[in-house]
Amino acid sequence: MPLEFGLWRVDDKPVRVATRPMRLEARLEELIEADPEILGKPLLLIGRQVQTDHGKVIDLLGIDAEGGLHLLELKRDRTPREVVAQLLDYGSWVQDLSNEQVREIYGAYARSRGLSEELDEAFAMRFGGTPPEELNSTHTLTVVASEVDAATERIVTYLASGYQVPLNVLFFRYFEDEGRSYLARTWLIDDVDVAVAPTGTKRRAKQELWNGTDWYVSFGDEPGGRSWEDARQYGFVSAGGGEWFSRTIRSLPVGARVFTHIPKVGYVGVGTVSGEPLPFDDAVLIVDGESGQMSDLPLQGSYQPDSRPAAESDTGDRREWVVPVDWEQSVPREGAFWRTGLFANQNSACKLRARFTIDEVSRHFGIG
């Protein structure tokens, strides 16, 4: 049966607050845009009145912390079943959106609202971290309505529960009491496992494109361990203390451009890998035009495995692996560059797909 709920003011005795029709349903769209928390889930809105390739317009489009997209369609003057059909059509379009297209949608939305933040910045301010490499990993479809008929409830429940269609209904009730206005909300279906991954799409397109050259390196500058000043002076990056830490640093190819980041500090250098990774005891670096054993240099840091504690449950090779780098630009730790939205990762090294980070760090260091 159709869902019903009410609101009571409790003074001496319960007094039911009157339900009123929303004067303009467009106002509800504005309220959601102003504060997506009204929906009861953390979302970043990336589009309003989004034009599809089929000549239709999506009311609101948001993204969650996992990179999933959320389509919100207000009932307006259509029957609920018409809205459901419309959302299914929208879903068939949204599931094929690539990472680049999602970013373009946000860019158009930001410009129309006079916003200066890139998606990466807005995402970090909303969720406290950088966007996942894969955007549009899932999508959900939501009808926003004040009521639906019993047949529509059956259709939505049948599709969502029986066939895993990512479809739900969000009910809003509008109340007025002594000159004040209130909104109350509830979901038709408990919002558990509603989102599903798109099928039949090219998964690679959901990630930002990799330029084939740029890599991210996390350099753990730490007391009693490796030293960033050593790395700057002698030209290298390194990682070790366990297989988990050294595996990715060993994947850096000669010729890769590395954007080097000190965790919780910022970006401190950009350079090009000039040699193969080798354990510390075997590493050879070029200093003042001459090659020499790294272990013979007057180092500030320590690069022996016994000098640092092993990670819990980490076994195998604990040696420090060293990768020679020709620095194009580098700065002391105190001059590190950071701004909201820049990419950061716990891996010692990984492919850097975050275009915002590449552009901003390159601009800061004056690199083309």
What lies within 8 Å, CB to CB, of 208 at 6+ separation is: 99, 100, 133, 135, 353, 354, 355
Provide mean pLDDT across the span 206-222.
91
153/3 Cα distance (integer angstroms): 9
C-beta separation of 361 from 342 below 8 A: yes
Q: Which of 327, 351, 319 is nearest to 239 (CA)?
A: 319
| pLDDT at position 192 over 50 | no
Mean pLDDT of the chain: 86
pLDDT bucket at 313, cuts 50 / 70 / 90? very low
340/130 Cα distance (integer angstroms): 9
Provide mean pLDDT across the span 145-168.
84
Residues above pLDDT 90, as percent of the chain: 52
Dump pLDDT digits (tens) for 42-70. 899 999 999 999 889 999 999 999 999 99
Which domains does the chain carry? 8-206 (3.40.1350.10), 214-365 (3.10.590)
Amino acid identity at 212: G
Longest dimension (CA), the chain: 90
216/64 Cα distance (integer angstroms): 24
Tell me the H-state helices in the chain: 25-34, 80-94, 99-112, 119-127, 150-157, 163, 228-234, 243-249, 355-365
Q: Which of 67, 70, 27 is nearest to 45 (CA)?
A: 70
27/171 Cα distance (integer angstroms): 15
| pLDDT at position 217 over 90 | yes
Instruction: Return the top range by mean pLDDT from 72-76, 137-141, 180-184, 256-260.
Output: 256-260
45/34 Cα distance (integer angstroms): 9
256/246 Cα distance (integer angstroms): 17
Q: Which of 231, 59, 61, 192 is nearest to 139 (CA)?
A: 61
Dump pLDDT digits (tens) for 280-309. 999 999 988 888 999 999 999 999 865 444
Dump pLDDT digits (tens) for 316-329. 678 999 999 999 99
78/356 Cα distance (integer angstroms): 41
Q: Which of 205, 228, 217 is nearest to 301 (CA)?
A: 228
What pLDDT was estimated at residue 360?
Answer: 96
347/342 Cα distance (integer angstroms): 15
What pLDDT was estimated at residue 163?
Answer: 83
